[in-house]
Structure 1
Amino acid sequence: MTRRPTIHDVAREAGVSTATVDRVLNAREKVREDTARRVYEAARLVGYHATPLIGQRVQMDLPRLRLGVVLHKEKQAFYQTFKTEIERAVAQATGLRASAIIEFAPSQTPADFAALMDGLATRVDAVAATAVTHPEVTEAVLRLNAKGIPCFALLNDFAQGVRQNYLGLNNMKIGRIAAHLIAISSHQAGKIAVFVGGYRWHGHELRETGFRSYFREYAPQFTVLDTLVNLETRQLTYEATLDLLNRHPDLRGIYCAGGGMEGAIAALREVRQPGEVTLVVNELTPESRAALISRYVGMAIATPLGKLCADLVTVAAEAVRDGITPLQGQHFLQPDLYLPESV
């Protein structure tokens, strides 16, 4: 008959005394966090019967972080991956009892984002969102601040001056990276098109600005056409791309600064050969990956979601611990760049 692991086995595995294990198990005295975690891991490894109880004791002494996150475009692969990475980040957080409530805005209207952010106020310690830039959203952030709840802007830097921090890419730089790839990939001068999702995405505006500034500075032989708004939808982007290709036979490149890239990919597949028009998109999804492999996409500029979510948990916990500060910041991440030969 197999011997049942004892408290002595746990102590031996953890490299501590049985008294220390007893203190962790019965919460008799305060034990250092790293020591308590070592005891818990040892109990788990040896199969100690009270491992779940030790885990609870370890968690009880940790500071709590209840993170509320508002995303949008629930059906898109990118945002489902975003949700998964948030859940992974809170599960793997050390030194915290972290949890997350994740909700999806039914549309991109400011009122929908604001309503969800307000609704989280009684259930969380900090809020983060991928909201549009709009006074209604700013007012929601102010209401959260008044309740002592810090708010973080993700991907799109909304509510500047009142939000606690922005986490995402340096969007001006992202636009210039996209322009650089298109300029060096196009062997003849011609027209360049750029799509943005709408007028309320500050990040898209910055990408467009960086995109145009690069061409003015380094590739003036190209003509950047008037910006097109695609509302981040596949169908609008598809129809607009077909129209562009029909009206501008010398179209050399397209940059989708926001969503809707699936429509541009589909249009190019219909009427152009791979590489005839250089398409740059944002984020690596099943669609953009397939288009990179078939060379209908020249580059995908991706947000490192795993790092973004881990950093969000860290800065949110610090803000909850230290309180809202009037000194807001920007937390820029390095983009992941994918080319046809790197996927």
Structure 2
Amino acid sequence: PEDLAATLKDLGRRCHAIGMVAPDHPKITAAVEELKAKGIPVFSLLSDFAAGVREGYVGLDNRKVGRTAAWMFSKAAKRPGKVAVFVGSHRFQSHGLRESGFRSYFRENEPAFEVLDTLVNLEKREITYEALLDLMQREPDLVGFYMAGGGMEGAISALRDECKGQDLVAIVNEITPESRRALADDVITMALATPLRRLCQELMPLMDNAIKTGTAETPGQTFLPFDIYLPENI
């Protein structure tokens, strides 16, 4: 957080408006508040932070993303069982909202599934790889996992190396060359992704307006429709 707060302050000396992906942390909120006092609007992207201080949020309705992942998981799983959830950090609000949406769907609609304690992977490939291998060996009733943040590359590698005959449901966050290949090879079930072009198209006018008219008294949220990728539509 200290490094990101310092980066924000440095950008504030060179920019008229700032868009940033960051964890929700008091030190970052303080930096955003300092910039707002100088008339420099800060927009949170993909994961909200500094609520009530930042100029606006542009990204997905992450709770809805999590519930959509759970709906697909429940339809794709061949039987009820144990379900793993990975987040990059508890400080990223988007990860927490996806996780809570995922869990709430199962509580309401599919109580036969058991969602395990959340695993934090710091969005690191190696940590995710080892954690998923351990789960597959330790939990014979595991039916799949949801990657609510980054680190899916490690999960995909683990599935390719060790998932023979287990037929796990695997839902990941964002479409990349690696997740696209995994979909094509039927290694993962679905990817939920941010429409990045649409995000930029929405963000630029908001920034332009904030620069011209000043920071808003009531910060807003702009929710984008998310993209769903399956093996048959990539």
Question: TM-score with structure 2 length normalisation?
Answer: 0.98
Q: Does 1:151 align with 2:34?
A: no
Which runs of 5 or more residues in structure 2 are unaligned?
Answer: none
1:339 maps to: 230
Amino acid at match of 1:301: L
- Structure 1 residue 218: deviation in Å? 1.1
Q: Does 1:119 align with 2:119?
A: no
2:85 maps to: 194
Q: Does 1:270 align with 2:148?
A: no
How many Å separate the matches in 1 of 2:33 and 2:79? 50
2:125 maps to: 234
2:172 maps to: 281
How many Å separate the matches in 2 of 1:232 and 1:281? 12
**3-state SS in 2 of match to 1:255:** strand
- The within-5 A match list for 1:164-175 is 164-175=55-66
CA contact (8 A) 1:134 1:158 kept: yes
Which segments of structure 1 move beyond 2 Å, counting only runs of 4 or more?
Answer: none
Instruction: Find 1:291's aligned residue among 182, 197, 202.
Output: 182
2:134 maps to: 243
- Structure 1 residue 273: deviation in Å? 3.7
- Structure 1 residue 322: deviation in Å? 1.2
Amino acid at match of 1:228: L
- The within-5 A match list for 1:294-333 is 294-333=185-224
Instruction: Find 2:29's aligned residue among 129, 134, 138.
Output: 138
- Structure 1 residue 136: deviation in Å? 0.6
- Structure 1 residue 275: deviation in Å? 7.6
Single out whichever of 175-184 and 268-277 deviates more from structure 2. Answer: 268-277
1:163 maps to: 54
Larger radius of gyration: 1
How many Å separate the matches in 2 of 1:257 and 1:122? 34
How many Å separate the matches in 2 of 1:147 and 1:308? 26
Which runs of 5 or more residues in structure 1 are unaligned?
Answer: 1-109
How many Å separate the matches in 1 of 2:54 and 2:149? 22
* Root-mean-square deviation (Å): 1.0
Amino acid at match of 1:208: E
Higher relative contact order (CA 8 A, sep 6+): 2
Q: 1:274 to 1:335 in 2, by over 3 A?
A: farther
1:95 maps to: none
**3-state SS in 2 of match to 1:124:** coil
**3-state SS in 2 of match to 1:120:** helix
- Structure 1 residue 113: deviation in Å? 1.0
CA contact (8 A) 1:274 1:295 kept: no
Q: Percent identity?
A: 53
Number of positions where the alignment pairs a residue of Structure 1 with one of Structure 2? 234
How many Å separate the matches in 1 of 2:24 and 2:131? 25
Q: 1:143 to 1:322 in 2, by over 3 A?
A: same
